[in-house]
Amino acid sequence: MAASRLPEADLEGIEGVRMTWNNWPRTKVEASKCVIPIAASIQPIRPHVDLQILPYPPLRCKTCSAVLSPYCRVDFTALIWMCPFCYQRNHFPQHYQSISQTNLPAELYPNFPSIEYTIPSYPQNPQNFNTSTTVCPIYLFVLDTCLLEVELDFAKSALKRAIGMLPDNAMVGFVSYGTQVQVHELGFSEMSKVYVFRGSKELSKDQGFCDLLHNEIFLLPASECEYTLNSLLDELGTDQWPVAPGKRPLRCTGVALSVAAGLLGASMVGTGARIIALVGGPCTDGPGSIVSKDLSDPVRSHKDLDKDAAPFFKKSVQFYEDLGKQLVSQGHVLDVFASALDQVGIAEMKVAIERTGGLVVLAESFGHSVFKESFKHIFEDGELSLGLSFNGTLEINCSKDIKIQGIIGSCSSLEKKGPAVANTVIGQGNTTAWKMCGLDRNTSMTVFFDISSNEKSDPSGTNPQLYIQFITSYQSPDGQTRLRATTVTRRWVDGAVGTEDLVSGFDQEVAAVVMARLASYKMEMEEGFDATRWLDRNLIRLCSKFGDYRKDDPSSFTLNPCFSLFPQFMFNLRRSQFVQVFNNSPDETAYFRILLNREIISNAAVMIQPSLISYSFNSLPAPALLDVSSIGADRILLLDSYFSVVIFHGTTIAQWRNMGYQNQPEHQAFAHLLQAPHDDAELIIRDRFPVPRLVVCDQHGSQARFLLAKLNPSATYSNAHEMAAGSDVIFTDDVSLQVFIDHLQQLAVQAS
Amino acid sequence: MATPGGPRPGNIPPIYTPNSLANKMQELQINQPNLPQSNNPTVGASRPPITTPFGQQPPTFAGTRPGPPLPSAFMRGPVLPSPSGPPSTLSRNVASDRPIAPPPGSQPSPRFTSRPLPPGSLPSSMGGATLSLASGSSPQLGPGPHQQLFASSPLMSGPAAPPPLSTSGPLSNGLPRITPAQLQDGPRFPPVMGSTPRPPPIAAPQPARMLSSGSSSQHPLLRPNFGGPSASASLATAQPGPPSASPQNMTPSPAPSPFSAPIQSVPPSSGSPYGMQTCMSQQQQVAPPPPFPGLQPPRMYGMPPPLPNQSMAPTSPALGHTGAVVTAQSMVDLNHIPRPIPSSIVILHMTRQGNQANPPPPATSDYIVKDTGNCSPRFMRCTINQIPCTVDLLSTSAMQLALLVQPLALPHPSEEPIQVVDFGESGPVRCSRCKGYINPFMKFIDQGRRFICNLCGFTDETPHDYHCNLGPDGRRRDADERAELCRGTVEFVASKEYMVRDPMPAVYFFLIDVSMNAIQTGATAAACSAINQVIADLPDGPRTAVGIATFDSNIHFYNLKRALQQPLMLIVPDIQDVYTPLESDVIVQLSECHQHVEILLESIPTMFQNNRIADSAFGAAIKAAFLAMKSTGGKLLVFQSVLPSIGTGSLSAREADGWRNISAGEKEANKLLQPADKTLKTMAVEFAEYQICVDLFITTQTYVDIASISVIPITTGGQVYYYYPFTALSDPAKLYNDLRWNVTRPQGFEAVMRVRCSQGIQVQDYSGNFCKRIPTDVDLPAIDCDKTIMVTLKHDDKLQDGSECAFQCALLYTNVYGQRRIRVSTLSLPCTTLLSNLFRFADLDTQFACILKQVTSEVPSTPLPQVTEKPKNLCINILHSYRKFCASASASGQLILPEALKLLPLYTLGLLKSCGLQANGRIDDRSFWINYVSHLSTHSAIPLVYPRMIAIHNLDEKEMDDSLIPETVPLSSEHITDEGIYLLENGEDCLIYVGNSVNPDILRKLLGISSVEEISRQFVLQQYDNPLSKKLNNIVNEMRRQRSSYLRLKLCRKGDPSGTTFFSYMVEDKTPGGLSYVEFLIHIHQHIQRKMP
């Protein structure tokens, strides 16, 4: 991990939970006055050095089925524990008999708020539950063949490498498609055998595969089919159906995915499986089409979507919604690796990918490192492993008065009703349990809470602590069934808004990310939603509520340090790709949002507000202001905006480099200076998924836009004369941070 | 393959490797002695393939293929001279017709002389053969005259040999007393009917009455009579007494005795029957003493040596209800009844002589045509060789006016090839109004500057560069040099304007059923092996492409592209809405995928060995194949083994329900013979539109609803082959040969055909296997030499007496070499106002073929009783018309048959008893029969209803002359003895019936079994090392060659279902549902009499 981010890692801690507010207002009214919603970003299976894995199943409360936690009150003499959520008293079973104050099982240790249990897959036969009875993961590759020869070759070699990296017992299947879908039967020895489905028509569900699959073998352990697959890939050519001039190739991504889903559904329901789709262009045929076959019709843009001028969009989304539902019910994951210069329909597929917890990578070419490295990454083993897990379910128990509105993130609601279900829904709601067909170490999501109690509630001030328990069961990469119980406690804060306690519990980084996620969500869900205005209004309200100022005196405005970074986050969020979608295609936007929703807070924060490090002879590498003024002719800047990592050489540096000084022994230092950002970039890139695009550019070069777009335009053509030499200007009419803050102060101090 | 204890149907099929199969083929296909080599098809195409379908050599073009495509696809000419003995060269070509003739013109006489039984020749005189049915009411009546009748009746009287015939003939037949009459008018072919009728002296006055009454006291007498202008043969039922002696025992001895009463004098001058004299002149015979043509009595009767010649006594019991009559006192000497007499003599036929159309020889005879202006009768024959001037005249005759067109018919090897005429860019000269093609009957006038169309009468300017001066005879001076001006059939090279696209390649797509049943019965293996062997016979060159797919409940395509390491199987599972899995590479140039195809075909049977899918998605499969072939068109050859049960166009086993309905009340029983729904028809029309022709090879052991699925081949110009019940032992050989003939026979693709007629006549309708989108044309995705199209005609105006009426059939097609051609056949026939001429020039074979086709086409839509009425009524009406208008003077007790149509009653009877008209027949058998008839050629029509039967147990007793095939035996169980072995063939099936008391030695020699009990249902004819077996094999091969069909061999024996099958072919017998031949004649006679005023 990048050294700069090490401290942040700890913020999640063993719990893997970060909240916008760490001290909660007591009442609904007060909560609403807090402006920033009460939300928790959770990382359900976050790896942690201290995490204990217990080789036995958890004890669960008999009424609310909460898992035994350190926050339970335990009566060691009576061997009774009391559930902190429902106050049910539960007896310890026989084998807990020996516990005492000094002999605690791991799950009662207060420093293990998160603990993981291994659940026997075959409870009837507990002796060998965690050994050989593991379930092998299934990988069903779906390859687009409507590609240029060279692109297909890239994709094929990536696939071959991936297959070589799979564990021997992983089951593998292969589907290729173009105008039609070809399901390759790997277990047929006589000759290569392929089932071909037409691309223009959806496979009817009931007919589908069930009749078809008698004894055909489509899935084989990697060790058995590697050779077959490789030779099959060798023979595989690009789609041979002719493409009329002026037309797009017929590409039936939708049917291909639905065939793949059907294939898994026919044989593998409930077993962890992922469909890994390599898509090279827009779907033009059959369900899920996003654009017409005519090249003169461009793929829909945000503008088209706004004006409802994207005739394929809604139908396509509906199709993927259904596909997503099907996959969720089967417990399978859809991963999409899209590599194309144009859009391929991620915007439409997003729903299926997100609901199933799939991965998505958007690149320009299958030969590009973004694809190649990312694709390789998912099959990595060991330290770099993503820890791809399957078939997760998340249950949340919480103290009385806490309601759950829903989750924004890669999961889908299991519609499990309970007292903790809030009336209002955000994201996947109406439930206390969620399905995560696919999840990995970094998977994180945002749970929105609501508080149900009102002023009058229970003055007795019962328990100042509130408890929330996240129970995640999943199939780990090695096939074991695990259950992780994370129990967190937070403090209730009584009294009016603005109290010290409340303020000190504010996590502005989380708040920024949650606001970004919520804004993105609303932009998608609410027609005509104006994100900028919404963000501004909320920021102003927040500042009004929590700022120190004299009314109508902007100069008097100050913010508590707990809030001080927040306005800048909002400033950058307003300018970011999440809100300013018109600079991006709908596919890119969808892609960014999926990642925003599933990344951990620190990474998500970088997406909103990139980090900038400056390298120069004069000083050690140091974080620099995300401002155009940070540009210097004698500096190298390293920008990490999550999706891209930019190494930016100042003019002078670039000149030196072009002259080759770094190769001269007397300029060793220069060589080091040049190298340093590359090494750091390497660190950033290495453990990130998807792999960011690395852009190395020089000042005034065309690629420099990747940096300039992210910088605060404190220097534009309008005030260029004020800038120091060697600096740069950004040609934009966007307001600079300073202008933004000025306005904010003005508005915040106005009487509401 | 015939290993003892070998595979049986239920078992896992043997897997054939090509070689082993080839070896087997060797065994199966009886080799000609002079061609001992193996028929291993792989031997190489360059050599004239020795094995040929039907034991004949493949059509010449096979041999010529390597060379430049010759103008006419199959040039026999060149081949002929080849050094290989006459048998080989000739044999193959003769294919479609008759036995190889000795060099034309040679006299077949030796045979006759050698024949043990010199049969009597029929007393046919010119006009017609009359059968007078005189029922002697009283015994005494009979004896008198009848005796004589009898004597004459055997007909054997005349020495069989043609030459002798002419001399003896006159003496041989007829009743003495008739003679005078005959003599009077006999020789003449009195054009006027008036003159014809001579009341025969004899005439039993009351026969009709008696017959109708059916009282026992009366019995019908058949007695030869002088009917019309021509001699008549009268059949008299006579008393057992006197006659018995002669006919019965005559058999073995060359009994001249029968002839003792030579009756008719046939004018010696009269030409010899067709059969006999091969000279060009013979056609004329028609005019003078046509009688013989049909009847070559010698062979007919002579042959059944062991038969007690239906001595009256024995016959009677068989005669059912009339039997009473007969038994009582009258006997019918069946030998007197007209029967077909196949002739092995080659006739040389000039289509026109003396600027007159020459009536063609019988379609069933062996003839060599010299095209002297009219097209060969092979290509087009008319039911009547003179055209009635008015519609009234035609309707009076009650005959049909129709053409049977077989545009690509296989020529005789000795015939000149059809000339190809290339008019270059401008295309052939045509009439600008009716678009008729230039032909010898277009009249050039005005120094050749203009010409008058013989079809529409329009006068056209001669194109400048086609101009030629006229000679003194009014013909163009270059007429004899230009084929289109002197030949009835030419082929024009089609210019661009005849092409909507480049001529299509020859695409062959094989679609094989691999469902559980097909695999387990060995049908799949047989199909694969057959295809594998046939691949080598497909036309060479870059224009030939093949594709292969298999199907069960899914459809499996195979990517045959060479670049791939091995064929790739592509499965299409959506059988409700199919598609093709690849844009290209499913159909690949043969040269590029030869190896793949071989590997694939070898592995298919094993690959699906354990297939447990019983369903068959036939409809979906052909649809998918269609989609794959759509861009080019071509031939789709489907091997189907079970009822299509799933997917598009699936069918139900409605036969079972059908039976219930039938037993319930006969209502709409024929529904089962109609397609179940329109799905397949719609599909077929679409196929035709894209020039895809479907042939179906049905290798099944169950009901497959041929009625429904045959719609596809019928509409697309294809054909159904039916192997039921399929056995892996005996059927693969036929399958292979059928398939081979299917792809090697002369054929064309993407064809359009139109028939034009002279003014006054127009085409009423076409029928056959094709698709018709506009009324005037028929679209033929493919057409081959065996396909015949019936064209019915109607008058729309009066024709000029003395003028000629022309018919022109133009077939635009692409041959297998990718050349676009227009084959134009023109037939110009005289018009007549004389009814008698119509009868005299009636063409029996064509007439009957038309009746057969018309009746058959009605079977699915009309209740059976009505259907069977039709041919009977037609027969009655024609005979009645003749009786009434042309032979009115003859006694009413006589059944008088026009000579040309004297076999009409027999064939009609055969038709009534044929499988398609049997209500209790298997539905599929009937459907197949109906389908088979729809494209049947003229010369195959008669064998179908009146099969050829020969005795084969006494082959060695007979000295075979150059004709391989012994004389035929009448189809009557009286001619079957328990000691005999008989072979019966109808062009499709071949039954070998083994009597119960056959000499075991013969049995062993012929069939390799020692007793009748060993006969099994599956039979493979093998050649053993003895002359008898060799002869038999030669005979079978010859028959196969003649029929262009491999003939499915079945062994039959008495007391077994197979025996019942065999006897069902005995059309002259009385059956539970049908009359005997004699009864039928009587029946017809009654009806005629009733109609007479």
pLDDT one-digit tens code per residue, B673-689: 888 889 999 999 999 99
Q: Are B571 and A195 in contact (CB under 8 A)?
A: yes
Check CB contact under 8 Å for B613 and A214. Answer: yes
Query: Is the pLDDT assigned to residue A33 strictly greater than 50?
Result: yes
**% of residues, chain A, pLDDT over 70:** 91
Q: Residue B522 CB: number of other CB atoms within 10 A?
A: 30
Distance of alpha carbon B426 from alpha carbon B221, whole angstroms? 67
pLDDT value of residue B957: 66
Which of the 8 DSSP states describes residue A613?
A: E
pLDDT value of residue A212: 58
Query: Is the pLDDT assigned to residue B270 strictly greater than 90?
Result: no
- Residues of chain B contacting A145 with CB distance shorter than 8 Å: none
A 128-147 → B contacts, CB under 8 A: none
Check CB contact under 8 Å for A240 and B582. Answer: yes
Query: Is the pLDDT assigned to residue A411 strictly greater than 60?
Result: yes
Query: Is the pLDDT assigned to residue B997 strictly greater than 80?
Result: yes
Q: Are B710 and B720 in contact (CB under 8 A)?
A: yes
Interface check for A186 against chain B (CB to CB < 8 A): the answer is no
Q: Are B368 and B282 in contact (CB under 8 A)?
A: no
Question: Region B1066-1090: what's the mean pLDDT?
Answer: 88
Lowest mean per-residue pLDDT among A375-379, B885-889, B989-993: B885-889
pLDDT value of residue B507: 92
Which of the four pLDDT bands, split at 50, 70 and 90, describes residue A582? confident
Distance of alpha carbon A128 from alpha carbon A117, whole angstroms? 15
Residues in chain A: 752
The β-bridge relationship of strands B568-572 and A192-198 is parallel
Please, what is the average pLDDT of chain B? 73
Check CB contact under 8 Å for A195 and B566. Answer: no
- Residues of chain B contacting A203 with CB distance shorter than 8 Å: 574
Mean pLDDT is highest, among B76-80, B330-334, B541-545, for B541-545
Q: Which residues contact A702 (CB under 8 A, 6 or more apart)?
A: none
Interface check for A195 against chain B (CB to CB < 8 A): the answer is yes
Shortest Cα distance, chain A CAs vs residue B937, angstroms:
43
For the segment A354-402, what is each residue's pLDDT rounded down to a tens digit? Answer: 999 999 999 999 999 999 999 998 888 877 788 889 989 999 999 888 9
Question: Region B106-119: what's the mean pLDDT?
Answer: 37
**Chain A: residue nearest B579 by CA?**
A198
Q: Are B1052 and B993 in contact (CB under 8 A)?
A: yes
Mean pLDDT is highest, among A705-709, B169-173, B174-178, for A705-709
- Residues of chain A contacting B566 with CB distance shorter than 8 Å: 191-192
Q: Are A573 and A608 in contact (CB under 8 A)?
A: yes
**% of residues, chain B, pLDDT over 70:** 67
pLDDT value of residue A497: 58
Check CB contact under 8 Å for A214 and B567. Answer: no
Q: Are A310 and A249 in contact (CB under 8 A)?
A: no
Question: Region A444-455: what's the mean pLDDT?
Answer: 85
pLDDT value of residue B213: 35
Check CB contact under 8 Å for A231 and B554. Answer: no
For the segment A34-56, what is each residue's pLDDT rounded down to a tens digit? Answer: 899 999 999 999 888 888 899 88
Query: Is the pLDDT assigned to residue B190 strictly greater than 70?
Result: no
Question: Region B277-300: what's the mean pLDDT?
Answer: 34
pLDDT value of residue A100: 87
- Distances B448 to B423, B442, B486 between C-alpha atoms, Å: 18, 11, 16
Interface check for A203 against chain B (CB to CB < 8 A): the answer is yes
Lowest mean per-residue pLDDT among A465-469, B31-35, B512-516: B31-35
Query: Is the pLDDT assigned to residue B151 strictly greater than 60?
Result: no
pLDDT value of residue B287: 34
- Residues of chain A contacting B565 with CB distance shorter than 8 Å: 231, 235
Distance of alpha carbon A546 from alpha carbon B508, whole angstroms? 84
Query: Which of A182, A192, A203 lies nearest to residue B566, judging by beta carbons?
Result: A192
Which of the four pLDDT bands, split at 50, 70 and 90, describes residue B1048? confident
Distance of alpha carbon B170 from alpha carbon B167, whole angstroms? 6
Query: Which residue carries 């044929």 as its tokens?
Result: B914
Which of the four pLDDT bands, split at 50, 70 and 90, describes residue B715? very high
Q: Are B896 and B232 in contact (CB under 8 A)?
A: yes
- Distances B581 to A144, A180, A482, B545, B553 between C-alpha atoms, Å: 16, 7, 44, 18, 16
Question: Region B536-554: what's the mean pLDDT?
Answer: 89
**Chain B: residue nearest A242 by CA?**
B583
**% of residues, chain B, pLDDT over 90:** 38
pLDDT value of residue B808: 96
Which of the four pLDDT bands, split at 50, 70 and 90, describes residue B225? very low
Query: Which of B583, B603, B607 lies nearest to residue A242, judging by beta carbons?
Result: B583
pLDDT value of residue A458: 54
For the segment A483-521, what is each residue's pLDDT rounded down to a tens digit? Answer: 999 999 998 887 665 578 888 889 999 999 999 999 999
User: How far apart are the two ends of chain A, measured CA to CA in Å?
Assistant: 45
Amino acid identity, position B143: P
Query: Is the pLDDT assigned to residue B38 strictly greater than 60?
Result: no
Shortest Cα distance, chain B CAs vs residue A404, angstroms:
46
Calculate ∠ Cα A220-A224-A230, nearest 5°: 95
Query: Which of B566, B574, B612 lies nearest to residue A198, judging by beta carbons?
Result: B574
Query: Is the pLDDT assigned to residue B253 strictly greater than 90?
Result: no
**Chain B: residue nearest A243 by CA?**
B583
Which of the 8 DSSP states describes residue A49?
A: T
- Residues of chain A contacting B554 with CB distance shorter than 8 Å: 195, 212
Shortest Cα distance, chain B CAs vs residue A200, angstroms:
10
- Distances A300 to A250, A629, B575 between C-alpha atoms, Å: 17, 37, 35
pLDDT value of residue A456: 52
Q: Are A316 and A283 in contact (CB under 8 A)?
A: yes
**Which is more confidently placed, A349 or B73?**
A349
For the segment B510-528, what is each residue's pLDDT rounded down to a tens digit? Answer: 999 999 999 999 999 999 9
Shortest Cα distance, chain A CAs vs residue B570, angstroms:
5
**3-state secondary structure at position B923:** helix
pLDDT value of residue A211: 55
Q: Are A569 and A584 in contact (CB under 8 A)?
A: no
Query: Is the pLDDT assigned to residue B339 strictly greater than 50?
Result: yes
Across the A:B interface, residue pairs with CB atoms under 8 Å apart total 67
- Distances A549 to A335, A501, A745 between C-alpha atoms, Å: 50, 20, 9
pLDDT value of residue B744: 92
pLDDT value of residue B888: 72
Which of the 8 DSSP states describes residue B980?
A: -
pLDDT value of residue B1041: 87
**Which is more confidently placed, B669 or A394?**
A394
- Distances B582 to A147, A218, B197, B593 between C-alpha atoms, Å: 16, 21, 74, 16
Containing H/E element for B660? helix B654-665
Question: Region B361-382: what's the mean pLDDT?
Answer: 92
Check CB contact under 8 Å for B569 and A193. Answer: yes
Residue A95 CB-density burial (10 A; 0-12 exposed, 13-18 middle, 19+ buried): exposed
Query: Which residue carries 């059988």 as its tokens?
Result: B575
pLDDT value of residue B1055: 82
- Residues of chain B contacting A211 with CB distance shorter than 8 Å: 553
Top residue of B514, B551, B568, B577 to mutate, by most chain A CBs within 10 Å, is B568
Query: Is the pLDDT assigned to residue B1020 strictly greater than 70?
Result: yes
Which of the four pLDDT bands, split at 50, 70 and 90, describes residue B232? very low
Check: complex ipTM more than 0.85: no
Query: Is the pLDDT assigned to residue A210 strictly greater than 80?
Result: no
* Angle of helix A253-267 versus helix A313-330 axis, rounded to 10: 20
Check CB contact under 8 Å for B572 and A196. Answer: yes
pLDDT value of residue A472: 94
Which of the four pLDDT bands, split at 50, 70 and 90, describes residue B346? confident
* Strand partners for B509: B547, B636
Of residues B755, B785, B899, the one with CA closest to residue B359: B899
Query: Which residue carries 């008088």 as its tokens?
Result: B896
Top residue of A191, A206, A210 to mutate, by most chain B CBs within 10 Å, is A191
A 209-228 → B contacts, CB under 8 A: 211-212, 214
Which of the four pLDDT bands, split at 50, 70 and 90, describes residue B32? very low
State the pTM of this model.
0.77
Pinpoint the alpha helices (H) of B745-863.
Answer: 835-840, 844-858
Question: Region A206-217: what's the mean pLDDT?
Answer: 56
Query: Is the pLDDT assigned to residue A242 strictly greater than 90?
Result: no
* Angle of helix A586-598 versus helix A346-356 axis, rounded to 10: 20
pLDDT value of residue B63: 36
Check CB contact under 8 Å for B568 and A194. Answer: yes
For the segment B729-768, what is each residue's pLDDT rounded down to a tens digit? Answer: 888 999 999 999 999 999 999 999 999 999 999 999 999 9
Interface check for A76 against chain B (CB to CB < 8 A): the answer is no
**% of residues, chain A, pLDDT over 90:** 47
Calculate ∠ Cα A273-A274-A279, nearest 5°: 160
Shortest Cα distance, chain A CAs vs residue B849, angstroms:
48
pLDDT value of residue A752: 58
pLDDT value of residue B518: 93
Distance of alpha carbon B699 from alpha carbon B703, whole angstroms? 11
Query: Is the pLDDT assigned to residue B144 strictly greater than 70?
Result: no
For the segment B940-975, what is each residue's pLDDT rounded down to a tens digit? Answer: 999 999 999 999 888 776 655 566 788 888 898 888
For the segment A673-729, what is each residue's pLDDT rounded down to a tens digit? Answer: 999 999 999 999 988 889 999 999 998 889 988 898 888 888 777 766 665 555 677
pLDDT value of residue B686: 94
Query: Which residue carries 């067709």 as its tokens?
Result: B274
Residue B300, token pair as written in the block? 């007919």
Question: Region B155-176: what's the mean pLDDT?
Answer: 35
Lowest mean per-residue pLDDT among A526-535, A579-588, B182-191: B182-191
Distance of alpha carbon B182 from alpha carbon B186, whole angstroms? 4
Mean pLDDT is highest, among A313-327, B137-151, B858-872, for A313-327
Distance of alpha carbon A206 from alpha carbon B361, whole angstroms? 66
- Residues of chain B contacting A231 with CB distance shorter than 8 Å: 565
Q: Residue A723 CB: number of other CB atoms within 10 A?
A: 16
- Distances B661 to B669, B922, B928, B930 between C-alpha atoms, Å: 7, 14, 21, 21
